[in-house]
Structure 1
Amino acid sequence: MIISDMMTFDKEEFFEGVTEKLLLEKPIKNSINKGINDSSYIVNFENIPRKAFAVIGIEGRTKQPKTWRIWINDFSITKEFKPNILVNHNKKLYFTAIYDISPIITTKNVMTVSYSDEIKILYALVFSTYLTEGFTTEYEISAGTTLLDNNKGLNFTSKGRVYAVVAAKGIIKLRNNGEVIWSSNVNGLEELDITTRGNNELSYESTGKYHEPGFLFVVCNEKIIVPNINFDVLKINEDNAMKLIIKNTGNVKLDNVIVTTLENGVSKSFRKYEQLKVGDEVHIEIKKNGMREITVRIVGKKANFHKIKDIKI
């Protein structure tokens, strides 16, 4: 029997928008003073989210640590340790705390967690949704703790795309209708972001000395209708330069276009152009200057999606 306690804390279908997941693996600042840890994380967005949740995974041996406090910028979210989910395994307690931070989030944020040393933070994740033209998104996100037992499968149905946060020391495989479509040798905390639809099975094979189980902490199951993100590139060859005309031929405005010039795979220049509307063009001149094997890599970006084209000169 698989030990599991997961809670769906948000689900929605909305138009003109997408989801974003920020796994905060390493704090920008971590200090310890008299048994109190202060860990600070950068949480930045290009635009203010319409929704935002902070999800924190915790491990400990006591249900009530002496200190637990969280700030977003200078705003205190909580002073009490009241996690939403608790799983007990092998004399350890695994907590999940979920906070709706939508009313206080801005584009540039620092989240600080202050806690006593009876517990430790396993991960911190910020899940958000924001508006952007052309997309339709349906999602369901759950958090908690599921133990991935050695050589036992966890079955689920996917809407089309699965994002997950796992922690393990071993091989994790995803099967779709019995066929392995993804496999990774995981050592520690890792994100999964896989396109799959229908019946799926997540399995785990421990490579550790004591065959400890793996952990599934967060799952976001979503269906996204993506607009046409595209651009054409016209090359005009001259004696000592190459002119490129980049035209947005998709059906949505590109958030930005990034142009990188590479010589033998090494970056020589970088340019970024903001907000390229449908039908608009960017004109670029690439000086050859004796460079050999030049590649111009062009990336057109819209929300979390992008189109890449490599142009040989």
Structure 2
Amino acid sequence: MSDIVIGGDLNVNRLGYGAMRLSGDPGIFTPPKDRAAAVAVLRRAVELGVTFIDTADAYALGDNESLIAEALHPYADGLVIATKGGNTRPSPHEWVAFGQPAYIRQQVELSLRRLRTDTVDLYQLHRLDPNLPIADQIATVADLQAQGKIRHIGLSEVTVDQLKEAQAVAPIASVQNLYNLVNRQSEAVLDYTAEQGIAFIPWFPIAAGEHAGPDGPVGKIAAEIGATPAQTALAWLLRRSPNILPIPGTSSIAHLEENYGALDVELTDAQVEALNDLAA
């Protein structure tokens, strides 16, 4: 596996794992129905060489963090567990940004407790609260960073302007935005993060829709190289920019192993160009 460096000192493998799917319902609101199976997926990910696992306090109301600790604590040397805060879950169908300083401080303490650690290597604001100045929200996590409770600060679903405003307050190590073969609305953010040496973590990295069918362009290229459409979509991301850190998530060991086969997929320049043309 090739590596990527987050924040100047966290060296992780290029393909991470997003733990969000280890939930008992489509709304990511309840614990997994088969906890042993979820634990097995996490342990298999590490066996495959994954050194970056992404979670959030909003996933299953915090149980996702507890699950990771149950499966992997004490953490192996070099294993980075990133979490997120600032998105509340009033119901299974609601995700509401909330960035009040006291709330963020409380959520960091809860994340530390559930993850069984003294420091979160990468703490990402899950969403910026539109009712508060960005500078105030970044100042809160920067203060926690100064206390040693957070090592690096990340953001999720931000624009270039919002990222620049955050950078004026504290160094930003990562940005996690929606980005994949057919949804490239964050292209400008990706390019800016690459210029700035900031890790770009695309969530929902495998989405390909009808393009992934046997007669679709992704499916055809996958057949040419003896790969699956999911592996092809991930291989394209890995080629797109060296600062990209995909975090495909699954609750299936078979799908997990398939996803990590993407590291062995080689795309030709012509194939990359054909996939580049899929942008909506």
Tell which structure's C-alpha radius of gyration is larger: 1
The structure with the greater share of residues assigned to strand is 1
Normalized per residue, which structure has more helix? 2
Above 0.5 in TM-score? no
- Normalising by structure 1, we get a TM-score of 0.27
TM-score by length of 2: 0.29
